[in-house]
A and B are shown apart, each in its own frame.
Chain A
Amino acid sequence: MSATAEERPAGAGGLLGARLWRSGAGRPPLLATAICLLMVVAALGGGAIAPYVPDEADFTAILVPPAWAEGGSLAHLLGTDQLGRDMLSRLIAGARISLLTAGAAVLAGGTIGVTLGLAAGYLGGVVEAVIMRIVDAFLALPFILMALAFVAALGTGVGNIILVMVLTNWARYARLVRSEVVSIKKRDFVLLARVAGLRPWQIALRHILPNALTSILVLAVLDVGRAIILESSLSFLGVGIQPPDVSWGLALAEGRTYMTVAWWLTVWPGLAIVLAVMSFNALGDWMKAGFDPRGRL
Chain B
Amino acid sequence: MARFILTRLGQTLVTLALLTILIFVLARLTGDPTPLVLPSEATEADRAFFREQYGLDRPIHEQYVVFLRNVLHGDFGISFRYREPAFNLVLMAIGPTLQLAGVSMLVAVMLGLPLGIAAALRPGSWLAAAVRAYASFGQAVPTFWSGLMLIFLFAITLPLLPSSGYGEVENFVLPAVTLGFYASASVTMLTWANMTEALRSDFVQMERVLGIPRRLIVLKHALRNASLPIVTYLGLQFGLLLGGAVVTERVFAWPGVGQMLVDAILNRDYPVVQAAVMLTAVLVMTINLAVDLLYAVLDPRVSRS
Which single residue of chain A is at the shortest CB-CB distance from B259?
A237
Known contacts A140-B284, A141-B281, A149-B273; decide if A259 and B148 are in contact (CB<8 Å): yes
B139 at the interface (CB under 8 A from A): yes
Interface residues of B in 4-41 (CB under 8 A from A): 11, 14-16, 18-19, 22-23, 26-27, 29-30
Bound form: Cα–Cα A238–B18 in Å: 29
Interface-side segment among B86-94, B115-123, B235-243, B290-298: B235-243
For B144, give its contact among A153, A233, A259 (CB under 8 Å). A233
Which single residue of chain B is at the shortest CB-CB distance from A278?
B140
Which single residue of chain A is at the shortest CB-CB distance from B152?
A259
CB contacts (< 8 Å) of A263 on chain B: these are 152
In this complex, the member of A145, A267, A273 whose beta carbon has the largest number of chain B beta carbons within 10 angstroms is A145
A187 to chain B, nearest CB (A): 20
Bound form: Cα–Cα A138–B69 in Å: 22
Interface residues of A in 92-130 (CB under 8 A from B): none
Interface majority SS on B: helix, strand, loop or mixed? Answer: helix
Contact status B15-A133, CB under 8 Å: yes
Contact status A142-B140, CB under 8 Å: no
CB contacts (< 8 Å) of B240 on chain A: these are 142
Contact status A277-B246, CB under 8 Å: no
CB contacts (< 8 Å) of A137 on chain B: these are 15, 18-19, 22
| A: contact size bracket | 35 or more
Bound form: Cα–Cα A293–B196 in Å: 16
Interface residues of B in 26-62 (CB under 8 A from A): 26-27, 29-30
B43 to chain A, nearest CB (A): 29
B111 at the interface (CB under 8 A from A): no
A221 at the interface (CB under 8 A from B): no
Which single residue of chain B is at the shortest CB-CB distance from A230?
B142
Contact status B142-A149, CB under 8 Å: no
CB contacts (< 8 Å) of A260 on chain B: these are 156
Which single residue of chain B is at the shortest CB-CB distance from A233?
B247
Residue interface bits B186-218, CB-to-A below 8 A is 1, else 0: 000000000000000000000000000000000
Interface-side segment among B171-179, B219-227, B262-270: B262-270
CB contacts (< 8 Å) of A134 on chain B: these are 18
Bound form: Cα–Cα A274–B136 in Å: 10
B1 at the interface (CB under 8 A from A): no
A170 to chain B, nearest CB (A): 13
Contact status B15-A136, CB under 8 Å: yes
B242 to chain A, nearest CB (A): 6
Contact status B261-A133, CB under 8 Å: no
CB contacts (< 8 Å) of B81 on chain A: these are none
For A225, give its contact among B140, B246, B284 (CB under 8 Å). B140
CB contacts (< 8 Å) of B136 on chain A: these are 278, 281-282, 285
Interface majority SS on A: helix, strand, loop or mixed? Answer: helix
Bound form: Cα–Cα A252–B14 in Å: 40
A182 at the interface (CB under 8 A from B): no
Contact status A239-B15, CB under 8 Å: no
Bound form: Cα–Cα A18–B96 in Å: 52
Contact status A238-B262, CB under 8 Å: yes
Contact status A259-B15, CB under 8 Å: no
Contact status B277-A149, CB under 8 Å: yes
Residue interface bits A248-272, CB-to-B below 8 A is 1, else 0: 0100110010011001001101100
Bound form: Cα–Cα A134–B251 in Å: 33
Interface residues of B in 102-150 (CB under 8 A from A): 136-137, 139-142, 144-145, 148-149
For A281, give its contact among B23, B139, B265 (CB under 8 Å). B139
Which single residue of chain B is at the shortest CB-CB distance from A280?
B140
Known contacts A141-B280, A153-B27, A256-B148; decide if A239 and B262 are in contact (CB<8 Å): yes
CB contacts (< 8 Å) of B14 on chain A: these are 133, 136
CB contacts (< 8 Å) of A149 on chain B: these are 22-23, 26, 273, 277
B100 at the interface (CB under 8 A from A): no
Contact status B284-A133, CB under 8 Å: no
CB contacts (< 8 Å) of B264 on chain A: these are 152
Bound form: Cα–Cα A263–B151 in Å: 12
Bound form: Cα–Cα A278–B141 in Å: 8
CB contacts (< 8 Å) of B11 on chain A: these are 133, 136
* Pairs of residues from A and B, 7 with the lowest C-beta to C-beta distance, nearest first: A142-B243, A270-B145, A137-B18, A153-B26, A277-B140, A278-B140, A153-B29
Interface positions of A (Cβ within 8 A of B): 133-134, 136-138, 140-145, 148-154, 225, 229, 232-233, 236-239, 249, 252-253, 256, 259-260, 263, 266-267, 269-270, 273-274, 277-278, 281-282, 285
A145-B280, A152-B270, A153-B30 given; name 18 further pairs at CB < 8 Å.
A133-B11, A133-B18, A137-B15, A140-B285, A142-B243, A142-B244, A144-B246, A145-B277, A148-B246, A148-B277, A229-B142, A232-B142, A236-B250, A239-B262, A239-B266, A266-B152, A274-B140, A278-B140
What are some 30 contacts across the A-B interface (CB < 8 A)? A133-B18, A134-B18, A137-B15, A137-B19, A141-B239, A141-B280, A142-B284, A143-B243, A144-B243, A145-B261, A145-B277, A148-B261, A149-B23, A149-B273, A151-B265, A152-B26, A232-B142, A236-B144, A237-B247, A249-B142, A259-B151, A259-B156, A260-B156, A270-B142, A273-B140, A273-B142, A278-B137, A278-B140, A281-B139, A282-B136
